[in-house]
Amino acid sequence: MMKEYYCVVTFDITQHALLFEKELKQHNLGVKLMPAPRELSTSCGTAALVMCEDKDKIISICDKNSIPINKFHKLEVTNKDSWFTKRILKK
């Protein structure tokens, strides 16, 4: 059975999350802002859900545009039936 993953980017301040979202949308990359899971970050209440396969593009865009990110988290989907998983992964 193949494991499924989703990726969450965390930030130090909300302004960085908003700049991140704007820039990714301008590059036609999927991004969805969401509440930051407390297990990942306590510094900013906003995180971004992104496609894991876009990581290199995302890092490049952030570097080019001086958008600081706290961390890029790759998380395994462990419970497909949970409310959280259904909510963030819905297309």
Cα 66 from Cα 60, distance rounded (Å)? 10
Cα 26 from Cα 19, distance rounded (Å)? 11
**What average pLDDT is seen over the chain?**
85
pLDDT at 20: 97
Average pLDDT of the segment spanning 57-67:
97
Instruction: Please say if the pLDDT value at position 91 is more than 60.
Output: no
What is the percent of the chain where pLDDT is above 70?
82
Cα 47 from Cα 91, distance rounded (Å)? 18
Written as one letter, the residue type at 74 is K
What sign has the CA pseudo-torsion 66, 74, 88, 46?
negative
Instruction: Please say if the pLDDT value at position 75 is more than 90.
Output: no
Average pLDDT of the segment spanning 44-58:
92
Name the pTM for this structure.
0.80
CATH of the domain spanning 7-89: 3.30.70.1530
H or E segment and range at residue 72: strand 71-76
